[in-house]
Chains A and B, each alone.
Chain A
Amino acid sequence: MPDVQALVNDFVLKLKRRKIEGSHASARHTAELLRSVISHQRMPYMNQAGALIDAVKAVGEQLIAANHVELAVGNIVRRVLHIIREEDLSSTATGIEGLGISAGSDDDDEGQREDRPALSAAALAAAARSTLRAPSLQTLLEDIPDSAAAPQPPSSGGDSEGKSKSADKNLRSRKLKHDVIEAINELIQDIDTCHEQISEQAVEHIHQNEVILTLGRSRTVKEFLCAAKEKNRSFRVFVAEGAPRYQGHVLAKELVGKGIQTTVITDSAVFAMISRVNMVIVGSHAIMANGGVIAPVGINMVALAAQRHAVPFVVVAGSHKLCPLYPHNPEVLLNDLKNPSDLMDFGEFSDCMDFGSHGGSPLLHVVNPAFDYVPPKLVSLFITDTGGHNPSYMYRLIADYYSADDLVVKRSYLLSVLLMTGTLGIRINLKKLRTAEENFANSIGCWCNKPVEAPSSKTLAFIVQI
């Protein structure tokens, strides 16, 4: 499928060259790209989900490596992987058990989110995996009987599938792909409509005569505020300009266009103004699994100011910004240092950066980080397209969207082993490890009668023990 490869390369190049930036755009493009990857993927006779997962992982790996800062790309790749797994499980379950679970419980389960048949299958699959993870809050609350979830080990499922279902295989193979593509279409639609879904909740949060403070410009925040205005709420907005890109100026213009009373302040005036503010609403770049937020630079300061004056600090974000990773050294690893010329004119200061004097090292350095990390304890509420959530609830949400197997999107798990050994401080001979890995993979493969796609953390730990 050369045309798909060309598409992938093109997108990778665009990501690398920072031609596609911003969570929304990159998430959408990624989803579309993966959709076409899947639709072009030739389906093998056996283990179709595995083939799809492999294909998506192969592409996803490149995409994530292309711009490690754009977390939305990785999120979407993992979402798609999750979708494939769910669809696979549900089709397996339907194949074997002829759908033992009543439709009613299905609807109850996921109905509040989406009542599509495809996702009801996903819910079933989620239930099927419930032995692997702790029961989710939703299932506990809604009291789905555990027996109905019918835990069926995936390996044996694949096995029996291979044996018995030869007649409707063709049909099912098409069905799996079709279902996956359907689900991805829904995902794309979700990404597109996340702004509307978030802003539908605006009136619940913004009350009459309130003062809202925001920093920089976020499309989600803008739509959120505009939605409240459309519902005839009258409120005032303080916009911190968001140096060095001054997107706040753009936002102020847009808000005024909608007839919202707007005040522009400098970033440094946030603390002075915060005592008059009823609520801080900001956008974000990504929400991490611990409930921490990666957001445009300056927001940490706003969050601290809000905490000092007990002002609610609300983050609005589409669910595609939900990242299943934990932030480790986020100021550096999840940051992007942009062009220093945003801060100041190179020509004006070029005499301060003369390498000819001062022993070859200039005394002036200019640093322009793009993002701040806001720890979860500073966040009062997340408003995503599925509703408002506490920071401590984020990991639950993530468990609903992602499967734990996909956290490391690598086809080979060599690197994850290396990572683990690295943290343990063990040096392992690379060659030895490689052979060990191959042996291990083979043995597991024989054992499960199906190639291992990705190791769970258990198997990794096992390797390390070896």
Chain B
Amino acid sequence: MAPKKGHRFSSSEDPEELARVPLQAILLADSFATKFRPITLERPKVLLPLVNAPMIDYTLAWLESVGVEEAFVFCCAHSQQVKDYLNKSQWMKQPGTFTVQPIESHDSIGAGDALRVIYNLGVIRGDFVLVSGDTVSNMSLKEALQEHKERRKKDPLAVMTMVIKHSKPSSLTHQTRLGNDEILMAIDPDTKELLYYEDKTDQSQRFITLDKMLLASTPTLHLHNDKQLYRFPILMRKRLIPVVLFLEILKDCYIDICSPEVLSLFTDNFDYQHLRRHFVKGLLVDDLMGYKIFTHEIHSSYAARIDNFRSYDTISKDIIQRWTYPMVPDVQYFGNCSQMKLDRLGIYKAPEVDQSRTAQIRAFSLIGNGTTIGDHSVISYSVIGQSCSIGRNVSIQGSYIWDNVIIEDDCKLSHALVCDGVHMRYTHTHMLSVKFSFIIFCSKAYMMQKAISASVVNDFFLVDLIAWVPELLMVEVGQKIVIPAYSKVSLLPQPSKQDSDEELEYADANSGVVESPYRKPPRKRVFCILLIKVGISGVGYIWSTTEGGHEEEWRQSIAPIPAEKLMEFSLSAHTDLGVSNQDVNSLPASGELQLGSEGTGFDDGEDYKDSADFEKELEATFQRALAGVNPDNVILEINSLRLSYNMAHADCAGSLFYSIMKSALSAPFSSNRELLLNTGKELSRWKDLLKNYLKTIDEEIEVLLKFEEMCLETTKEFAPLFSAILNHLYEKDILSEDAILSWAEEKEGADESDKIFVKQSEPFLKLSTYKENNLKTLCAG
């Protein structure tokens, strides 16, 4: 714990010296979030069992396996428990090069604070790995470290390497397997530099605003969403910027390789709190310092982070299905847990399980040591902890049951999380069935207080929880009580409304423990206290879900997404083709992206993607001008449009001309002559506006080309009048003689079909050349 002095990093260290520094890691043993409440009120999240081993063991084992030599475990909430655990565990006394050192702080409210504390201790001497204590991975860091080091040598501003991984979300719900927030990343495919990072993208409005400079500087660009990747081969030609989108899926593994500067950056920017939301985005936006973040993509290995109940469920199942090998139950990677035997169909059993002959353990289940299972009980897809006692005719499906739980006969649980020391009983008058729920108790080792949460789907599910032993009694849910779906029931009262509002504001930035929720009056006290002996009624508080949290609940609960929700999604997917596009390669660009100008962004949700869009937009602007908007304003608008699309003046001129001609066409006409007149009027009216964009001969040629194109394709009405209008343009001084002549010259080499209009305007051209020649001779004369 004692800070090592005199090791403050200085960037002037030469690379050889850097290379000698042992690989260090910072493990944040506090997620600074409240997702796991009410369990985390009494127990730190990193010590919650994940397939029978505390989460922190997985992270530490991974750090050890990648060759980290010094790991600093930053504990904040329940720091004493974490420290006690570490002291007892093998990690502290392990022989070899891996040392674990706890760092304690009591007033940190975010990762930023944690890193500032560590910076002040001055223990970090070189590149370090930054993970949170709930990471499960088996990836090898060697490659990523190598890349990071090499980049650092070349570019000292490359301060961080983020690990990312492919992952495909369900096509219906657009949710990752882990149920977290969506993340949108833009990554340079060549250098792997991270250019853009945005989490919490809104489902309904999935635009991102990209700096045009960003687009200009990289010819192709990968935009990684949690579910999609867009690729923009931006052709910096005059006219078109074709945008091709490819869908691919990436997720953020929350494993970072950082240079020591990261710590000082946190210290310099004292408002940085959240690693991603503040720090990464802050670095990306800040172009003064020019720090760069790079990414490293892993393919075959596994890396994920548990930050909600859904990911708890998913990662548990991944572990049981051995994607995290060698960190699987039967390998005893952590050394301290009991030996598991793996049977067929992924059934893990500890050596001392007392299982009735008639009990069935189905695929992908794990039964901890000392657990007894009664007759005719069925267990599937579940993890049962140590020393549990399961009665007869119990059905447990997709549930996580921690240690020392007693489940009596005839109980039915599906998709429930049952914490330590719960006693569940079924009384014969009522069916006990817990479905889609969390039953959460914390063991009596922690403050003698327990929490449960339970929920019901459609029917009356009566939960009858009775503490058998008086000191175990904490929460009882009485009979005939309907508990709303996805709610949590706890003996601890929920922090009052006031509190929870504050929490919501920086939900993730908040510390895992709130010091004073207990003195607040209970929000809802649903169960009256009856006599313990009677054993029918219950005591406890329902943790109501926060407003708008219902959405989150089904997304992030252990239970699978309800069928109704899936139906809803498939319906909406049918109506909204743009969203449910499953074709990976050919998603149209529409509706997905918005390229804002200079990062300001557009407020309206229209699509701008290429010059066709630009043309349309310009036309609309022009229409407004027709409706009587001040021409000055029109110029301003067009200019801003031009900037936002990164168009040249020439494009503007062409498009504007097109709009003018169209407006001329829109007026009623009966003969060509009338049309010519109309056109003449329009042209003279908008001459000044157009002139703004006709600064050079190139733009005038562009207008001519545009005109030609129009005559050929869109507005064939002008075709016979080409020469006349050309003449008109010349006379009105819109087009110069040089432009027309060089246009004609340009066309000289083209094939016959292209020459129609050149031929048509031959008399005019001849006249011009004649005039010119005359002029020349005059001058010469």
Residues on A facing B (Cβ under 8 Å):
6, 9-10, 12-13, 16-18, 65-66, 332-333, 337-342, 345-351, 353-362, 365-366, 368
Contact = CB atoms under 8 A, between A and B. Distances in A.
A350 B175 contact: no
Max count, chain B CB within 10 A of own CB: residue among A341, A347, A366: A347
A332 B299 contact: no
Given A16-B333, A66-B332, A339 B138 contact: yes
B317 A355 contact: yes
Given A17-B333, A341-B302, A350-B168, A356 B326 contact: no
A349 B95 CA distance: 39
Given A341-B301, A354-B170, A360 B560 contact: yes
A44 to B, nearest CB: 28
- Among B331, B342, B566, the most chain A Cβ lie within 10 Å of the Cβ of B331
Contacts of A17: 61, 65, 326, 331, 333
B535 interface: no
Contact of A356 (B170, B332, B333, B343): B170
A61 to B, nearest CB: 12
B325 A357 contact: no
B599 interface: no
Interface of B: 61, 65, 94-96, 138, 165-173, 175, 177, 179, 249, 299-302, 310, 313-314, 317-318, 321-326, 328, 331-333, 335, 339, 341-344, 346, 364, 380-381, 397-398, 415, 559-561, 566
B165 A347 contact: yes
A356 B302 contact: no
Contacts of B94: 13
A433 to B, nearest CB: 15
In the A-B complex, the 8 residue pairs with the closest CB atoms:
A347-B166, A351-B168, A339-B325, A360-B560, A360-B398, A341-B300, A356-B561, A354-B170
B299 A347 contact: yes
A340 B323 contact: yes
B342 A368 contact: no
A351 B398 CA distance: 19
Contacts of B321: 340, 353, 365-366
Contacts of A333: 341
13 contacts: A10-B95, A16-B335, A345-B300, A346-B300, A347-B165, A347-B167, A350-B167, A353-B318, A357-B561, A359-B560, A360-B313, A361-B380, A368-B322
A354 B331 contact: no
Contacts of A16: 331-333, 335
Given A337-B342, A359-B560, 5 more contacts: A16-B332, A346-B323, A347-B168, A349-B168, A350-B166
A346 B302 contact: yes
A355 B249 CA distance: 18
A356 B175 contact: yes
Contacts of A65: 339
A225 B303 CA distance: 41
Given A66-B332, A339-B138, A355 B322 contact: no
B362 to A, nearest CB: 10
Nearest to A331: B344
A332 B333 contact: no
B333 A361 contact: no
B29 to A, nearest CB: 22
A368 B165 CA distance: 22
Contacts of A351: 168-171, 177
A361 B317 CA distance: 9
Nearest to A359: B560
Contacts of A353: 177, 317-318, 321
Contacts of A6: 95
Contact of B173 (A337, A356, A359, A365): A356
A16 B318 CA distance: 20
A335 to B, nearest CB: 8
Given A16-B335, A356-B175, A356-B310, A348 B168 contact: yes
Contacts of B168: 347-351
A463 to B, nearest CB: 21
B335 A13 contact: yes
A271 to B, nearest CB: 27
A360 B559 contact: yes
A339 B322 contact: yes
A355 B175 CA distance: 11
B322 A338 contact: yes
A333 B343 CA distance: 8
B340 to A, nearest CB: 11
Contacts of B324: 339
A356 B560 contact: yes
Contacts of B318: 353
A16 B65 CA distance: 12
Nearest to A358: B560
A361 B310 contact: no
Most chain B CB inside 10 Å of its own CB: which residue of A12, A16, A348, A350 = A350
Nearest to A9: B95
B137 to A, nearest CB: 12
Contacts of B175: 356
A20 B39 CA distance: 39
B773 to A, nearest CB: 70
B299 A345 contact: yes
Nearest to B138: A339
Contacts of B346: 365
B700 to A, nearest CB: 53
B180 to A, nearest CB: 12
A358 B415 CA distance: 13
A243 to B, nearest CB: 14
Contacts of A13: 94, 335
